Amino acid sequence: MTCLIRLSWTLADLRAAARPSRDDTQRALHLWEIFMSRESLTWLNRNTLIGFTTKRGTAWHSRARHQGDEPNHYPGPIPVSDVKRRLFGWEPVRAPLRRRT
C-alpha cells in the first residue's frame, strides 16, 4: 500500500510539472535541489567556483540570493587569486583527537 501511495504522489508531481503553476514550479525545484546534493544551496553558492559560464551556462544550483557578497560564477577562467582567497583562505586549527569509547 505504501508503494502505491508513493507512486501516485510521484505521478501527480509529473503531471503538475507538465502544467506548472508557480507553486508547482517551486516544489519541483525544491525536489530537484534535494536530490542533486546533500549540501545546501547556500553552501554550494559560497564554496564552489564555476568558470567559463559564457560557454557552459550557469550551474544548476546558481541562486544570486545565496551567493553572499560576490558571485561564484565567472564568464571565463577562474582567477587563481580568487581560488586562493575564497577556497583556501583559512588556517588549520590544531586540536587534540578524541577517541570514541
Tally the C-alpha atoms within 13 A of residue 24's C-alpha that lie toward its C-beta. Answer: 11
Domain membership flag for residue 28:
no
Is the pLDDT at 3 greater than 50, yes or no?
no
pLDDT in tens, 11-67: 666 565 565 566 766 776 666 655 667 788 888 888 899 999 999 999 988 888 898
Q: What is the pTM of this model?
A: 0.56
Handedness of CA 22, 26, 31, 35 (dihedral sign): positive
Domain membership flag for residue 78:
yes
For range 62-82, the mean pLDDT: 92
Domain membership flag for residue 56:
yes
Q: Which one-letter amino acid corresponds to residue 16? A: A
Domain membership flag for residue 13:
no
Domain membership flag for residue 2:
no
Tally of structural domains, the chain: 1
- Beta-bridge partners for 73: 50
Q: For residue 40, what are the domain limits?
A: 33-90
Domain membership flag for residue 9:
no
Tally the C-alpha atoms within 13 A of residue 88's C-alpha that lie toward its C-beta. Answer: 5
Is the pLDDT at 5 greater than 50, yes or no?
no
As to burial, measured by CB atoms within 10 angstroms (0-12 exposed, 13-18 middle, 19+ buried), residue 11 is: exposed
